[in-house]
Amino acid sequence: MKPPAWAHFVLWAVAGENEAEFVAGDLHEEFLLLCAAEGRSTGSRWYVRQVLRSAATLLGLRFRSGEAAHLVAAALVAVAMPLLLLDRLWSFVYSHIPLKDGLERAPGFWAANVVCVCVCASMCGSLAQSLPRAAGVAVASAAGAACALWCGAAPAPLVYAGLVILAAPASSMAVYAWRRSR
């Protein structure tokens, strides 16, 4: 019997490398006891509640150890900065084309941004040595992408924004999983 996968992922994403394995093991042990005593749905509810109520404390612990600061820095350098630089670059390019300044960007530019973000996030994910770090990089890269979109010169189309915010964590996790499987 396994706890809800999404709650399990949240736990690995918020807990630091030093704690994630032990906290997950403790919760798993108690989850199994609860499932045997009161049924799976009670066990799952209890697990989700524990993860959500512990998230801020575990994240605080991760910040205190300095690990979270590294993740945030990695996400900013690997995802937010390239996105912002590309945004400025496209603005510059458009400003030099007569009658194009102020117009909506071509889909090709948005596609280039998505590819660039995927490559950068993948590199970031490939450096992660453990699942908590990879999950942390994934969450931080999604947040970094969202920040970069928010700070962009022009409002981004909704589809593009959603794609970037999803593609950044997905590619970093995919590369981490691929490296682990090898």
Partner 1 sequence: MAKGDALGEFEYLVMLAVLRLGTNAYGMRVRQEIAARTGRDVTIGAVYATLERLAEKGLLTAALSDPTPERGGRAKRSFTLTGAGMEAANRARQDLASMLEGLQFPLAGGSQ
- Six-digit token string for 22: 């032990």
Quick one: which of 10, 44, 54, 148 contacts partner 1 (CB under 8 A)? 54
Q: Smallest Cα–Cα separation from 130: which of 19, 2, 55?
A: 19
* 73 sits near partner 1 (criterion: CB under 8 A): no
CA dihedral 7, 9, 14, 20 (to 10 degrees): 100
Alpha carbon distance 176, 180 (integer Å):
6
Shortest CB 135 distance to partner 1, Å: 15
| Phi, psi of 60, rounded to the nearest 5 degrees | -60, -40
* 21 sits near partner 1 (criterion: CB under 8 A): yes
Shortest CB 141 distance to partner 1, Å: 24
* 13 sits near partner 1 (criterion: CB under 8 A): no
* 55 sits near partner 1 (criterion: CB under 8 A): yes
Nearest residue (CB) to partner 1, 59 versus 76: 59
* 22 sits near partner 1 (criterion: CB under 8 A): yes
Quick one: which of 9, 17, 28, 72 contacts partner 1 (CB under 8 A)? 28
Per rule CB under 8 A, count of chain residues that contact partner 1 = 23
Quick one: which of 7, 13, 35, 58 contacts partner 1 (CB under 8 A)? 58
Place of tokens 């889909």: 107
Residues 6+ apart with CB under 8 A from 13: 132, 135, 136, 138, 139
Nearest residue (CB) to partner 1, 25 versus 39: 25
Answer for the pair 79, 117: CB distance below 8 angstroms, yes or no.
yes
- Six-digit token string for 31: 């989850």
Residues that bind partner 1 (CB under 8 A): 2, 18-19, 21-30, 32, 50, 53-58, 60-61
